[in-house]
Amino acid sequence: MMDRTQLLFQFNSPIDMIHEHVSDNELFCVMNISSSSARCPSCDVLSSRAHSHYTRKIDDLPISGRHVTLQIRLRKWFCDEPSCSRKIFTERLSWAHSYRRKTTRLEKILTELTLSTNCLAAERSCKALHIRVSHDTLLRLVKSMDLPERKPSPFCRNR
């Protein structure tokens, strides 16, 4: 049987829910990743020697009309591979890109919404959906995409 954390968020990481706070318009969850080892992103060697902890705040899809913020405590690890240039690395999450503050599934929905309308209209829609995002963030998401090169239309003259 799935625990409520896996049921709500469906992440493939070993997550322990420490605390949650529910208000009228927000769900704030404090979580801990309980892994005993991690792979170095540079050399892919498994490390089981923990260095320290750090905290990330990540926004996720709304649940029951509430904005969702996850405060996640992650570990930093030592890389013991002598040939690796990275001596200390941070634990990676498969469902959130490094240095980003939104889950990949939220970013995907924001990108689709922005591409189907425009940044300003998408920002208004997100506000109604209880997703906190600015039109500048939506524009950055679209600009970071790898879009294919468009060929000129045969129906338009090249000027």
Model pLDDT for residues 120-156, shown as the tens digit of each residue? 999 999 999 999 999 999 999 999 888 778 777 777 7
132 in the same domain as 70: no
Contact assessment for residue 13 and residue 73, using Cβ atoms and an 8 Å cutoff:
no
Q: Could you tell me the pTM of the whole model?
A: 0.81
- pLDDT for 114 equals 94
90 in the same domain as 23: yes
Among 95, 113, 130, give the residue marking a domain's end: 95
- pLDDT for 148 equals 77
Q: What span, in angstroms and rounded, lies between the C-alpha atoms of 55 and 79?
A: 20
- pLDDT for 149 equals 80
- pLDDT for 35 equals 86
CA neighbours within 13 Å on the CB side: how many for 33? 26
91 in the same domain as 112: no
- pLDDT for 15 equals 82
85 in the same domain as 40: yes
What range does the domain containing 41 cover?
1-95
Dihedral over Cα of 11, 13, 14, 16: its sign:
negative
107 in the same domain as 89: no
79 in the same domain as 30: yes
Alpha carbon distances (Å) from 97 to 64, 91, 94, 152: 25, 11, 7, 34
106 in the same domain as 86: no
Number of structural domains found in the chain: 2
Q: How many CB atoms lie within 10 A of CB 11?
A: 20
68 in the same domain as 106: no
Q: Is residue 151 part of a domain?
A: no
- pLDDT for 4 equals 59
pLDDT-flagged residues of the chain (< 70): 1-10, 12, 158-159
79 in the same domain as 117: no
